[in-house]
């Protein structure tokens, strides 16, 4: 939240941004320590291989500009505080970070978070196939009065509760939430994704038709690579180059990397 082409894309990225970065030093990039295939792989502080589509994407961005990348895996509840304090330089955020002191996001000419310099975010719902939900059912209607699993520390819990869902944040990984759904401990699992089909291969391989994805997202939004005021003031041109790349080649390149994991 798609390898002559790989080589060409990497070359375009390097040419587009290299002159702006020069010697950019080390970028400290924070991301969740939760197993969230296909984006972030593995649990805990260790970065596994393969590391996930999002990590590969960030690595490519840094390497193409001669930067050293330090990957920092943190619990969800510490990502924003670490960014605000300056312990890290970049972290992914969603729309709930808009207006939060100490977080800097790319903005459009109207001062709003710039959707053109962001990745897509779709909050998708998964259910048990045997429960017979129509695939085109509106998930806003489906979650009302249901026990809904979400990733621990997720920022969209309040929005689901407003829709009438009973929230279960007891599981910290995508597979553990799917397992709870399969076992009947929750009625649905709702998770943010880049594209609606990104977990289809994983679902097919591990749950053999027992679980299903609803076609419509609970809501659509965006994710941004955010920084903090101190880093932005010290590296304004470099940060703007990253954000501008996201609005041009960045999303296309992300989709290409995702295809290696999703098979779409």
User: Does 233 lie in the same domain as 190?
Assistant: no
* CA–CA dist 26, 138 (Å, integer): 45
User: Does 64 lie in the same domain as 147?
Assistant: no
* CA–CA dist 10, 235 (Å, integer): 23
How does pLDDT run across 225-252, given as a tens digit for each residue?
Answer: 999 999 999 999 989 988 998 888 899 9
pLDDT at 23: 54
User: Does 108 lie in the same domain as 133?
Assistant: no
Domain that holds residue 237: 4-118+222-262
How does pLDDT run across 199-234, given as a tens digit for each residue?
Answer: 999 999 999 999 999 999 999 999 999 999 999 999
How large is the greatest C-alpha to C-alpha distance in the chain, in angstroms?
Answer: 57
User: Does 79 lie in the same domain as 21?
Assistant: yes
User: Does 85 lie in the same domain as 18?
Assistant: yes
CATH of the domain at 135: 3.40.190.10
* CA–CA dist 137, 115 (Å, integer): 27
**Tokens, residue 18:** 């290299």
pTM: 0.88
User: Does 62 lie in the same domain as 183?
Assistant: no
User: Does 101 lie in the same domain as 24?
Assistant: yes
* CA–CA dist 199, 166 (Å, integer): 24
What does the DSSP 8-state code read for residue 122? E
How does pLDDT run across 78-131, given as a tens digit for each residue?
Answer: 999 999 999 999 999 999 999 999 999 999 999 999 999 999 999 999 999 999
Q: How many domains does the chain have?
A: 2
User: Does 54 lie in the same domain as 172?
Assistant: no
């Amino acid at each position: 939240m798609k390898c002559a082409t790989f080589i060409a894309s990497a070359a375009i990225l390097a040419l587009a941004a290299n002159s702006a970065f020069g010697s950019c030093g080390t970028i400290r990039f924070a991301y969740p320590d939760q197993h969230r295939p296909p984006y972030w792989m593995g649990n805990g502080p260790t970065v596994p291989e393969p590391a996930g589509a999002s990590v590969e994407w960030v690595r490519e961005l840094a390497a193409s500009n001669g930067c050293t990348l330090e990957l920092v895996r943190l619990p969800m509840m510490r990502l924003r505080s670490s960014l605000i304090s300056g312990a890290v330089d970049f972290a992914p955020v969603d729309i709930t970070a808009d207006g939060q002191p100490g977080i800097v996001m790319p903005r459009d000419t109207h001062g709003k978070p710039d959707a053109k310099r962001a990745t897509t975010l779709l909050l998708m719902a998964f259910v048990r196939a045997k429960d017979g939900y129509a695939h085109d059912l509106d998930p806003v209607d489906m979650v009302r009065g249901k026990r809904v699993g979400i990733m621990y520390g997720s920022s969209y819990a309040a929005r689901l509760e407003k829709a009438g869902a009973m929230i279960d944040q007891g599981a910290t990984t995508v597979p553990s939430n799917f397992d709870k759904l399969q076992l009947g401990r929750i009625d649905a699992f709702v998770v943010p994704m880049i594209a609606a089909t990104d977990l289809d291969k994983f679902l097919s391989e591990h749950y053999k038709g027992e679980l299903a994805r609803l076609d419509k997202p609970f809501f659509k939004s965006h994710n941004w690579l955010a920084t903090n005021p101190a880093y932005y003031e010290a590296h304004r041109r470099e940060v703007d180059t990253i954000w501008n790349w996201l609005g041009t080649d960045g999303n296309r390149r992300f989709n290409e990397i995702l295809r290696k994991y999703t098979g779409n």
